Amino acid sequence: MALSPSKLIKLGSSFDGFCLKCRQVSKWLPGSLTTLLNMDSLRARQAGDPILRAEAETVDITTIHSPEFKGMVERMFKVMRRAKGHGIAAPQIGVGLRVFAIEFTGQHIKTLKDKGLSDKDIKRMGIALVPPRVFINPELRIIDSTLLAFREACLSVEGFSAVVPRAKEIEITALDREARPVTWRTSGWPARIVQHEVDHLKGNLYIDCMLYKSFMKNDWRDYTRK
Ligand code: CO
């Protein structure tokens, strides 16, 4: 069917309407990201900051290729690596967007071993190397709901840790940093990190689901010495 000029105008206007709508998905448009990235430090926001308790917004996919969005992702990696974290969510750098990054390196394993973990512990925790990955607008599905309880920490609850039960295996569907759809099924430690980061996007921290009596200040032993 041929389209008359008037129909084309109508189609054009509804398309504009659609674009306008998808642009309105998030208030974190490139300009606001620049302002924030110029003023913010390389330290993660800490518990008490309201942005850590707010639900993050869906990313407008047309902004993913902008230099500002890329700058935000770079900032996330910088903050995470500086604090030697295994994962970070955008709200932790002050951006309320549904984005998180994860990375687990040989250096992380070495640090765990230096802290006294054995190869057996590492195997039991399901630790595996994960190259730097970014997940945008993630959807999480639990594959194996068996709960595994291990100690974890958070860059936003600096200096503390607690035992947290998490599902053994998950599947995550999202866009990567090139806006390509990705699905990742994983278990053990990477699955734990993913669940922790997805919680951040809902305004939840591990302290909400930890085994309360396991909560500790990591250097509590220092206070027992004179
Ligand atoms: Co965290």
Q: Which residue has the tokens 């309105």?
A: 24
How many alpha carbons lie under 13 Å from residue 182 in its C-beta half-sphere? Answer: 17
Model confidence pLDDT, tens digit, residues 87-138: 999 999 999 999 999 999 999 999 999 989 999 999 999 999 999 999 999 9
Identify whether the C-beta of residue 89 lies closer than 8 Å to the C-beta of residue 201: yes
**27, amino acid identity:** K
Alpha-carbon distances of 145 from 112, 123, 142, 165, rounded to whole Å: 26, 19, 6, 10
Give percent of the chain above pLDDT 90. 81
Give percent of the chain above pLDDT 70. 89
Which residues are known to be catalytic?
197
User: What whole-number distance in Å separates Cα of residue 75 and Cα of residue 40?
Assistant: 10
* Beta strands 160-175; 87-89: pairing state: unpaired
Domains belonging to the chain, first-starting first, are: 6-224 (3.90.45.10)
pLDDT at residue 197, rounded to an integer: 98
For residue 150, pLDDT over 80 is answered with: yes
pLDDT at residue 44, rounded to an integer: 96
How many alpha carbons lie under 13 Å from residue 184 in its C-beta half-sphere? Answer: 22
Instruction: Give the Å distance between the CA of 27 and the centre of ligand 1.
Output: 23
For residue 85, pLDDT over 70 is answered with: yes
Query: Which helix (H) or strand (E) covers residue 193, if one does?
Result: helix 188-201
Instruction: Give the Å distance between the CA of 106 and the centre of ligand 1.
Output: 20
Query: Which helix (H) or strand (E) covers residue 54, if one does?
Result: none
User: What whole-number distance in Å separates Cα of residue 43 and Cα of residue 155?
Assistant: 9
Query: Which helix (H) or strand (E) covers residue 185, if one does?
Result: strand 181-187
Identify whether the C-beta of residue 173 lies closer than 8 Å to the C-beta of residue 166: no
Instruction: Give the Å distance between the CA of 76 and the centre of ligand 1.
Output: 12
Instruction: Give the Å distance between the CA of 8 and the centre of ligand 1.
Output: 49
Instruction: Give the Å distance between the CA of 126 and the centre of ligand 1.
Output: 19
Band (66; pLDDT cuts 50, 70, 90): very high
pLDDT at residue 24, rounded to an integer: 53
Q: Which residue has the tokens 């490139």?
A: 30
Instruction: Give the Å distance between the CA of 88 and the centre of ligand 1.
Output: 6
Model confidence pLDDT, tens digit, residues 8-23: 444 444 444 444 544 4
Q: What is the mean pLDDT of the chain?
A: 90
